[in-house]
Amino acid sequence: MKQRLITLSQNYVTALRTHLQPGAPARLLAAQGLGRQAVALGIATLELARIHEQALVTLNLSPDKKKLVSRAESFFTEANAPIEETHRAAQASEVHLGRLKETLGQRTVELAATNRQLQRGVVRRKVMEEAAVKTGQHYKKCLEESLDLQKRLRQLTHQVISTQEDERQSISRELHNEIAQTLLGINVRLLSLKQEARVNHKGLKNDIASTARLVAKSVQSVKRIAREFGTL
């Protein structure tokens, strides 16, 4: 790097000397070439100015030589032009890079926010799925228990109804048979008394007839009650 800088300084002196010779055409292309070499070496304007000052000292160019100094300044300006262009390009690139960084930062923040929302959404969805599974299992269990209870209730109701029906029929038969037999025996007895009353007192006959009617009425009432009870 040092040797290349020395070579650049030497070439600068040579090109500037040629540029300042009386009657020589302007060698601005040479100055621009030196500027590009400086850019390649990473030399800034200040360092090139030092090379230019050293070249003026080497060429013994005093300030009173205004015309030569002016031509030397033109040479420096052309040599520095590539550096300035590079500097402006670098500044533009830096501004562009800054904008890109700012945009990237905003996008990063937006992406982070979106990522957090997605994560919260995933968590909520998992919670809802777990709750749905638990709820579904709970409803399924409740439904199974309800169906089982309904089945048991139907069986129990059927048993109760069947038992009640059997009991009603049994009581009805017992009531009918027992009372009917009792009343039938009374009726038979009364018929016997009626036959005997043919030869006895007339009042006994009337009492027996009245009792027979009462017994017959009782039999009809018992039958009616038994039928009604049997249909309950």
Supply the DSSP string of 125-178, one letter for each residue: HHHHHHHHHHHHHHHHHHHHHHHHHHHHHHHHHHHHHHHHHHHHHHHHHHHHHH
Per-range mean pLDDT, top range of 113-117, 154-158, 173-177: 154-158
Q: Would you state the pLDDT for residue 109?
A: 77
**Domain spans, the chain:** 2-106, 162-231
- Per-chain mean pLDDT for the chain: 78
- The sign of the dihedral angle between the CA atoms of 54, 58, 60, 61 is negative
Task: Extract the tokens encoding 47.
Answer: 């360092």
Alpha carbons 196 and 205: distance in angstroms, whole number: 9
Total-model pTM: 0.40
Task: Convert the pLDDT of each residue in 42-54 to its tens digit.
Answer: 888 988 899 989 9
Q: Whose CA is closest to 48, among 21, 75, 19, 25? A: 75
The Cβ of residue 82 has, within 10 Å, a number of other Cβ atoms equal to: 20
